[in-house]
Structure 1
Amino acid sequence: MEPTLQYQLRLTVSPELADALRADPASASHSALRDVLLRHDATLKCQFDAFADYVREAQQQGTENYPLYQWTLETIENPEKQARYLRSFTVYVNGGEVYGKDVTDIMENELLGLVSEDGVQRVSRFDTNPANNPQPPRR
């Protein structure tokens, strides 16, 4: 029996909305987005901040146990990539970074209704199938 796929949604937002969301993760600055997140017990995490947290933790705990440390450090230190990841937010549902298809389908549809040039610019769906995702760089 094949394992059940889990999913993750990510948002790409305007630079202005990114600044607002990083300052207020409750999304008060975008009431329609806040309402979708509340309905699904969901939160947002800026991918740049998640990467920076990973680097900080690796430096505190010992980088030898963090296989993506060097790649992640280089990513957050690269101004071009930094600008991209500052606008990218991962959606967490019930505290989890991956979740079932049913909630993903409903929430994705609701989030797609929010897409506009000056707010949520793109909604992306990822799944846990390794064949569909980039693998860690080899060192």
Structure 2
Amino acid sequence: MEVMLQFQLRITVSDELAAALRSDPLAHSYPALHEVLRNGEASLKCQFDAFADYVSEAERLGPENFPLYEWTRQTIANPEKQAKYLRSFSVYVKGEEVYGKAIADLLQADLSALVGNHGIEKLFRYDTNPANNPQPPSR
């Protein structure tokens, strides 16, 4: 049985745009980005906030049930990594972190047109194939 890969897009933005997008996941303050997100039924989530949410949930439910708890906690406590992840935003589609190739292709094409404009600096595409991604720390 062939496993269908899923994908996630992420954008890296300027500090100024990051501050605006953290409280505006549909990018209403950035019309071109808002239009891309609206057309793709998508929203943004700051990676730092996603990590902080993971740590909070782990602490609420018991870190022993969250294999990346310690790594994630250390990551958000590190000022250099904090600065990096505050500028990184994952694109969620219909509330999902990963999605099919067709929607990823469409969103990637539309988002690519925005790179270099108004604070969008980079666009990254990830897939769910473990061979293509760093593996979590062993502890």
Q: Work out whether the TM-score is over 0.5.
A: yes
Distance, in Å, in 1 between the alignment partners of 2:131 and 2:116 is 31
* Number of equivalenced pairs: 139
Identity score, percent: 62
Amino acid in structure 1 at the alignment position of 2:39: R
In structure 2, distance between residues paired with 1:24 and 1:49: 13
Residue aligned with 2:44, SS: strand
TM-score (normalizing by structure 2) = 0.97
Gaps of 5+ in 1: none
- Cα deviation for residue 73 of structure 1 reads 0.3
Counterpart amino acid of residue 61 in structure 1: L
Following superposition of structure 1 onto structure 2, how do residues 1-139 of structure 1 map, counting pairs within 5 Å? 1-116=1-116, 118-139=118-139
Task: Report the Cα distance in structure 1 between the residues aligned to 2:123 and 2:74, rounded to whole angstroms.
Answer: 26
Shift of 1:106: 1.1
* TM-score, length-scaled by structure 1: 0.97
CA distance in 2, matches of 1:51, 1:100: 23
Gaps spanning 5+ residues in structure 2: where? Answer: none
List, as ranges, runs of 4+ consecutive aligned residues in structure 1 with deviation greater than 6 Å. none
Instruction: Report the more deviating stretch, 17-26 or 37-46.
Output: 17-26
| Structure 1 residue 118: Cα displacement | 4.2
Q: CA deviation at 1:125?
A: 0.3
Q: Residue 114 of structure 1: SS of its match in structure 2?
A: coil
**For residue 45 of structure 2, what is the amino acid of its counterpart?**
K
For residues 44-101 of structure 1, give each alpha carbon's deviation from its aligned partner in whole angstroms, at most 9, with x where no partner exists. 0000000000001111111110110000000000000000000000001111111111
Per-residue Cα deviation, 1:87-126 (whole angstroms, up to 9, x for no partner): 0000011111111111111110110100116411111000
The CA deviation at 1:23 is: 2.0
Give the distance between the partners of 1:25 and 1:132, measured in 2 at CA. Answer: 28
Cα distance in 1, alignment partners of residues 77 and 34 from structure 2? 30
Amino acid paired to 1:126: Y
Tell me how far 1:138 sits from its aligned partner: 1.1
Q: Structure 1: how far apart are the matches of 2:84 and 2:137?
A: 19
